[in-house]
Chains A and B, each alone.
Chain A
Amino acid sequence: MVVPAWILRYAGRWPGASLIALVAGAGLLAMVCGFLISYWTGNYRMRMNGVRYHLIRDLMRHSLTMPYQNTLNPQVLADINFANDTVANPVRGAGGIILTLLRLFGGALAALGFAGLIASLSPWFMLGMAALFALTYLLSQKADALEAAGWEKTREPDRHWYAISTVAKDPSHKKDILLYDTAPLILTYLKNLRRQVMKVMEGVIQKRFRLEMIIAFLNLVRDAALFAFIIRRFLAGSLDAGGFYLYSAGLAGFMTVAQAAMTDLSAIRREGKRFAAYIRLVAPDQPDTPPEKGAPLPEGGDLALENLTFRYPEADKDTISGLSLTIPKGQKLALVGENGAGKSTLIKLICRLYRPSAGRITLDGRDIWDIPEAEYFRLLGVVFQDAMILPFSLKDNVLMGEAWDEARYHQVLKLSGLDRIIGDLPSGDATTLMRVLDDEGVELSGGQRQALFLARALYKDAGALLILDEPTAALDSLAEKALYERYGAMAQGKTSLFVSHRLASTQFCDAVAFLKGGLITEYGSHRELIKQGGEYAALFDIQAKYYRKEVNHA
């Protein structure tokens, strides 16, 4: 900017050589700067992403380790979602701050330079221009805020639209979509939601346009004032051609640079607010357990449920209501009940995933919530109904981060029946499961998954408490029977809880607890309960009657 003004001023007076040197020097500087800017922007971008990925990992850690009960709290989930937006999007939140910070310094520097230039012409004129600029800036801020509010309003339909788009592309929905020809219905939803989003946006953009019109008129005032001012100065003789150029181009330069810097600044403020939310969420991450009281309990003991009550947030009645039960150390207990009786909730309470609303659970006399989380979890070997397979090797899926113990590993493979499945896999226990991380990954069938989950639960070294939730649902009758036969060996030396709709399973247990309406309504051995002729006996009879006479004949 200054170079041409000098040229204009001194062109007649300087020798050609120094002029060439000046321009060449400036040119060289520009070349080096230009190259470095491009190069470093490329180079910096991924370093910045490295920082961002680190933040993502911290958020992941938070989400994966926060108290399980938080997953029931919609506010907590919304906070995590919001914080995730902050780090997942490369141009918003943390990424946005880092990106704009780079620009902002350069922009602010340039804006200051221009401002100084104009102020040297006339401080008053500079003030007027600054006021005009401030007005323009405020208006554009308002326009941005308007647009942001508009996007906010589109969030819900957009989220719905996204959820349905995911269904449409989900291969696991494919069979039903094809066979029941539901594609047209799904598309109708997608189109309607699109329309809803667009309707909001149309209103917003119209309002925004009105504000931008005002800005364009303000610019008209700016242009006219500037040129009137410098023409008058020139005519008065206090400005030469170089000065004229400097100021006419300088103002435009100032406006552009200052505008950009202000936009960047407000972006940083906005994204900073998002990032602050992230920090509030992730920073205080500490173990949620109270400080250790007394010695750890590696061996377990009697498990006592005392007047246990649990109600889901916003539910209108208790799922578990004042339940009391003692599971002596080493007992094999069968937990039965109809769908919706509260079995899964009870298991989560015993697993110390949910905190009781009232009452308590003690292990060897100690409230399990007084035992450090990691310490207690170490004792549990649990197979949930809807357990998770990780997209890693089969071996990783059995070990799940536990220390390697070859003897136990092979014993566990045998007990769970996983050894026979491994034999059929292309790379044995090194075979990757699922095709998320490995194109050659293997999808296990229902029965195979069950065997894997079982092996995982058995592998835990301190597993003093074995909990199996519906382990036989996906098994054929021979595999089911084989599981029952091995169950004694699996539960050897452990306290165990077996939840199943296959009531035959209860015969391998020491006691049966029948759960109904959040309470244990019947308790005793299988024989006792059958003799008692209560609800358990009725349920058993339903399942048994079509088997029974057959065998007598056979």
Chain B
Amino acid sequence: MLKSLRYLLKLALPEEPRYLWWLAVSVLANGLMPLTNIYFPKLILDELLGAQSVPLMTGYVAALAGLNLLFGLLKAWSRSHLGLGTARMFYRVNNQVSAKAMALSQPEGEKKSTLDLLERANYGAYAIFDLDQHLTNAGAALVSLVGSLILILSHDWRFVFLAVLPNLLALPCFGRIKALEEDNAKRNVPENRAFRYFLDVAGDYRWAKDLRLYKGAGLMLDRAGQVMDKILAINHAFMTKSGFFNGLIRVIIEGQTALIFIFLGLALAAGRITAGAFTLLYGACRQMGEAMNALLRAGTELLTADVNLRALQEVMALPEETGGEANESALPPEVQTALAQARAGQLDFVMTDLVFQYPTGGKPVLNGLNMRIKSGGTLALVGRNGAGKSSLVKLLCRLYAPDSGLITLNGVDIACIPLKLYKRLISPAFQDFKLLPFRLDESLSGRGLDETDPEDAQRLDAALHRVGLGDWLLEQPEALGSFLTKTLDEKGIVPSDGQEQKLALARSVYHEGGFLIMDEPTAALDPRSEEEVFRQMLAITRGQTALYISHRLSSTRFADRILVMDGGAILQEGDHPALMGQDGLYRRMFLAQATQYQEIT
């Protein structure tokens, strides 16, 4: 059980080296305080029933009050530090999870099991929040348990049978509670995710229109009710069961206390112990019972935390995208040559017999695809919905590896090129691209302010001008310092679809990868913006290697070469006039659009 706790501390302690000290102070202060309040009254009562020395009793009272003050101060002090330490730990661990999530490869990050694990790790991180409290409670209970045991046993060692043995009976109950807890945590994951989804939908107004115009709200509420009922049923059964076992443990503890009383009372009646000793032993036994209870509660809480923390540990153990850093000079000479050529703008890709199917299932999307991308040319990829165009882009970006077949760059298998170096060669704009909600310059350059210099700002400015956003930039009050969207800044810019598309293009231009990939860059644009974007793209990519995907065949016709994809393979290839000369899919697709524009001359 302590494994995940140890792991957590290992993860978080480097930043909180004194966390354990504070915890120790907190445990001692919380554990010893009740013992003080048992021990000194006994001394005072003995003195009252005995010599009645006022100075001595004054001393006892002073010691009692003084120790209480000391422990009180230590409690408050350690609590402050633990509170801060906990908060720091929470953010730190969460940030580490975020870092991990970002470092996962595309297939790993899309896996259902990964998403579930991240969801559970989210709970795990929140478990940190009460951890100091539970650890303090458990530790303090242990201290006062041991202390009261010492007080009891030092009086009569035979009490050990009464004080310790019955507790062993409670152990199996503990085991059951732990098993229940684990079972419950697993069962709850999908339901909790569903629950969160419904909460998010209610608070996300993007879809408010659809839910109102259709009877979506009722449907949503209905299903949310079903999920909630299911969660309640799962948890109700669990809580009731674990409540039962907790109750059993309480019975054992209370029974034990009663037994001890009987023995103590009999001893007092028989005159074997003094009244002072009786209060001490009574107090100690009571404290022991309470400590056991507290230990039980803290133990249960720690068990819950442990289950969630384990998810945290599992997330951190997921494999990251490999091939990040590399010592370039140690690479095979042919790879070095290929890289050098690529950096000089020479990028020849050859794809041979590519077969690919998404790890999440479904039909194969690429079926023995063969094609070439020649350096310095613009290539258009066209085809029907679902032909596999976007998937091909993902393979080219090495987000996925093909199931079989080979992609080479300048004659070298791209898998042999260190990923980090490879990524610098390509500048993709995905169909569903995302820009970050940071400052414009940060969002486009992908680097923080402290890492950029005036020259970068100039390059960014130039990139924005090239995509036709130069005037737009001048309108923004904070220029490149404006935040994109209102996520982090209420005065942030909310770009229109067209502007956002151009921003993505500017990012690709700034990135200066030798190979530009644009997947459906104009789907959301009006005719004028569409033409603008394409004109700019053609100008930008003149002499550069570039790949476009678009359903607007009037835009792709100017590409040096057009590839027509169908069913996961290349069906036709050639320039526009050549393809129009063939009676094939391309001609059909082009005419389907073109005839719509014919009537008017």
Contacts and interface: CB of A to CB of B under 8 A. Distances in A.
Interface string B425-450: 01010111111111000100011100
A509 B51 CA distance: 111
A353 B98 contact: no
Contact of B436 (A186, A197, A550): A186
Contacts, number: 483
Contact of B65 (A84, A223, A377): A223
A35 B248 contact: yes
A8 B446 contact: no
Interface in A444-475: 445-448, 456, 460, 470, 473-475
Contact of A175 (B49, B394, B436, B437): B394
A130 to B, nearest CB: 19
A249 to B, nearest CB: 7
Interface in A486-542: 501, 503-505, 507, 527, 530, 539-540, 542
Contact of A30 (B45, B65, B209, B257): B257
Nearest to B108: A174
B386 A445 contact: yes
A539 B528 contact: yes
A54 to B, nearest CB: 8
B340 interface: no
B217 A64 contact: yes
Given A49-B232, A205-B84, A503-B527, A227 B266 contact: no
B496 A474 contact: no
Contacts of B162: none
Contacts of B110: 171, 174
Given A40-B243, A57-B225, A339-B497, A19 B420 contact: no
Nearest to B62: A224
Interface stretch (B164-172, B196-204, B349-357): B196-204
A118 B432 CA distance: 72
Interface string B96-118: 01110111111001101001001
Interface in B403-438: 420, 423, 426, 428, 430-438
B67 to A, nearest CB: 9
A439 interface: yes
Interface in A41-90: 41-43, 45-47, 49-50, 53, 56-57, 59-61, 63-65, 68, 71, 77, 80-81, 84, 88
Interface stretch (A158-166, A262-270, A278-286, A302-310): A158-166
A241 B275 contact: yes
Contacts of B600: 527, 530, 540, 544
Given A168-B101, A445-B386, A507 B596 contact: yes
Contact of A35 (B247, B420, B591): B247
A36 B84 contact: no
Contacts of A23: 258, 261-262, 265
B124 interface: no
A8 B262 contact: no
Contact of A7 (B193, B268, B497): B268
Nearest to B236: A46
A46 to B, nearest CB: 4
A249 B84 contact: no
B558 to A, nearest CB: 8
B279 interface: yes
Chain B interface helix/strand/loop/mixed: helix
B374 interface: no
A40 B244 CA distance: 9
A349 to B, nearest CB: 12
Contacts of B217: 61, 64-65
A261 interface: no
A328 to B, nearest CB: 23
B120 interface: no
B72 A27 contact: no
Interface stretch (B131-139, B461-469, B518-526): B518-526
Contact of B275 (A8, A26, A189, A249): A8
B258 A478 contact: no
A191 B41 contact: no
Contact of B321 (A178, A241, A503): A178
A179 B98 contact: no
B121 to A, nearest CB: 9
Contacts of B160: none
A3 interface: yes
Interface residues of B, number: 174
A478 B528 contact: no
Contact of A182 (B62, B247, B446): B446
Question: Which of B87, B112, B526 neighbours the largest number of chain A CB atoms within 10 Å of its CB?
Answer: B526
B597 interface: yes
Nearest to A447: B385
A168 B104 CA distance: 11
B175 interface: no
Given A30-B257, A231-B48, A64 B208 contact: yes
Interface stretch (A119-127, A211-219, A318-326, A360-368): A211-219
B310 interface: no
A340 B496 contact: yes
A145 interface: no
A437 B258 contact: no
A430 interface: no
B331 to A, nearest CB: 20
Nearest to B599: A507
Nearest to B114: A171
Nearest to A538: B528
B72 A215 contact: yes
Interface in B183-217: 190, 193-194, 197-199, 201-203, 205-217
A34 B251 contact: yes
B530 A501 contact: yes
Contacts of A68: 208-209, 212
Contact of B83 (A30, A167, A205, A446): A205
Interface string A338-357: 11100000001001010000
Interface in B238-288: 239-244, 246-251, 253-255, 257-259, 261-262, 264-266, 268-269, 271, 275, 278-279, 282-283
A404 interface: no
A244 interface: yes
A476 B551 contact: yes
A351 B52 contact: no
Interface stretch (B5-13, B73-81, B145-153): B73-81
A216 B65 CA distance: 10
A531 B528 CA distance: 20
A437 to B, nearest CB: 5
Given A339-B498, A400-B215, A176 B430 contact: yes
B243 A231 contact: no
A481 B265 contact: no
Contacts of B66: 220
A45 B91 CA distance: 29
Contact of B198 (A60, A164, A183): A60
Contacts of B394: 175
B255 A201 contact: no
A138 interface: no
A406 to B, nearest CB: 19
B203 A63 contact: yes
Contact of A227 (B64, B207, B447): B64
B359 to A, nearest CB: 13
A175 B282 contact: no
B210 A384 contact: yes
Given A19-B262, A388-B211, A181 B268 contact: no
B96 to A, nearest CB: 9
B479 interface: no
11 contacts: A56-B199, A56-B228, A65-B212, A169-B97, A171-B115, A178-B423, A215-B76, A231-B57, A339-B498, A436-B194, A547-B553
Given A176-B430, A436-B193, A447-B386, 8 more contacts: A34-B247, A165-B94, A165-B98, A169-B101, A184-B447, A201-B87, A209-B80, A339-B496
Please give me the 5 A-B residue pairs with the lowest Cβ-Cβ distance, nearest first. Answer: A42-B243, A27-B258, A504-B596, A401-B215, A34-B250
